[in-house]
Amino acid sequence: MTTIFPKATREPDFARYRAQWESALLAQTVAETAGLDPEDQKQIRRVWLQGLYNAVSFAAEGEKDGPGGGCLDWCAVSPTQVDFIYRSSYGLVCPLGRAYQQPNGTWAALVIAGVKDDLPEAMAAAEWAIARLSS
């Protein structure tokens, strides 16, 4: 017996697995380029493995996505602002952080903690990131 799921039933799962695939590609890029210690690299590879497995199992990865995860670059926006940009293999360009000069000459750094579906989730992600960076 074969069960065929209607497209409307599959779409929420597809979107979730596609997002996990995109997270896996970013995790791969970070693991390869960030110079992490072995324990942190192991943690980020868990995101990569889960996203890769789910996306391939559900056919949520695309042929045009390519095998690589992408690259991370610092791009000068102005003399007083530099953005940390993730360029994925499938064309997404996403700022992950920013360093900018303040009026007193010091430099501030901002880090994007993630993209969430609603304000409470986004606030929780920011709080988690601050706690993680502060510990």
Q: So what's the pLDDT on residue 81?
A: 95
Give pLDDT tens digits for 106-129: 999 988 877 777 899 888 888 888
**Residue 11 is part of which domain span?**
1-65
Q: So what's the pLDDT on residue 8?
A: 57
Contact 49, 25 (CB under 8 A): no
Which residue, of 65, 97, 120, is where some domain finishes? 65
Contact 48, 27 (CB under 8 A): yes
Which residue, of 65, 84, 109, is where some domain finishes? 65
Q: Are residues 86 and 36 in the same domain?
A: no
Give pLDDT tens digits for 58-84: 665 665 545 556 778 899 999 999 998
Give pLDDT tens digits for 33-59: 777 777 877 777 777 777 777 776 666
Q: Are residues 30 and 87 in the same domain?
A: no
Torsion of CA 38, 39, 44, 46, to 10 degrees: 110
